[in-house]
Amino acid sequence: GVTQSPTHLIKTRGQQVTLRCSSQSGHNTVSWYQQALGQGPQFIFQYYREEENGRGNFPPRFSGLQFPNDSSELNVNALELDDSALYLCASSPRSSDTGELFFGEGSRLTVL
Amino acid sequence: DQQVKQNSPSLSVQEGRISILNCDYTNSMFDYFLWYKKYPAEGPTFLISISSIKDKNEDGRFTVFLNKSAKHLSLHIVPSQPGDSAVYFCAASKAAGNKLTFGGGTRVLVKP
């Protein structure tokens, strides 16, 4: 399945954070979502073959990477209090009959 | 602009009865509609999806109905079981594997 690390972390405002994700075997598309408390997940960006393939309404201080082994990173610079959220990674094959994305358990970030 | 809306934040139902969850969308370009279930401290788990060329899809106890003219979909769970107690999200995408736009979720409580 999709694995994410770390599961929980605490940072202070202004710091930088890197979250990691390993996609499900055979999946070459990875996307990241932010889920604030009490809300649905919001799309941050998607990567396919190491290239950004779509971006949501997030500022440039949110950046990502996808590696040749289809693992991925989400980097957030200059952390703000509102960045406190559950960050979800999802992977999918390039084509799918169901449109399903496979989600990891998430990394919960708290910014103090 | 919230393109996918779940207007009922919570739903309580007796075990064995039907749970009906509703979702409305505004973007006519959406082509796939999905339902995810989420337990606390876990990532979203895919339940069922439907493409825009269909109006109904069944999988065991779960049935999704799509009314394109009304831009409305619903999820029926019959019979409801205590293990179904979770938060349910509807989501939509413009193509299979593309970014998902989520609703805000409906918390379901199934009482024994």
pLDDT tens digits for range B49-102: 999 999 999 999 999 999 999 999 999 999 999 999 999 999 999 987 789 999
pLDDT of residue A74: 98
Q: Across residues A43-63, what is the average pLDDT?
A: 94
pLDDT of residue A95: 74
pLDDT of residue A37: 92
Q: Do B105 and A88 touch (CB under 8 A)?
A: no
Overall size of chain A counted in residues: 112
Q: Is the pLDDT of residue A15 over 90?
A: yes
- Band (pLDDT 50/70/90 cuts) for residue A98 is confident
Q: Which residues of B touch A (CB under 8 A)?
A: 4, 6, 32, 34, 36, 41-46, 49, 51, 89, 91, 93, 95-105
pLDDT of residue A99: 85
Q: Are A17 and A6 in contact (CB under 8 A)?
A: no
The nearest CA of chain A is from the CA of B89 a distance in Å of: 7
pLDDT of residue A5: 97
pLDDT of residue B12: 97
Q: Do A92 and B32 touch (CB under 8 A)?
A: no
Q: Encode pLDDT of B18-57 as tens digits.
A: 999 999 999 999 999 999 999 988 999 999 999 999 999 9
**In chain B, what residues touch A39 (CB-CB under 8 Å)?**
104-105
Q: Are A108 and A7 in contact (CB under 8 A)?
A: yes
Q: Is the pLDDT of residue A12 over 90?
A: yes
Helix (H) or strand (E) holding A45: strand A42-48
B27 DSSP 8-state letter: -
Nearest to A87 by CA among A38, A23, A43: A43
Quote the mean pLDDT of chain A. 94
Which amino acid is present at A47? Y
In chain B, DSSP assigns E strands to 4-5, 10-14, 19-25, 32-38, 45-51, 56-59, 62-67, 72-77, 86-93, 101-102, 106-111
pLDDT of residue A97: 78
Q: How far is Cα of residue A104 from the mean position of the Cα atoms in its chain?
A: 9
Tally the C-alpha atoms within 13 A of residue B57's C-alpha that lie toward its C-beta. Answer: 18
Distance, CA of B101 to CA of A31 (rounded, Å): 12
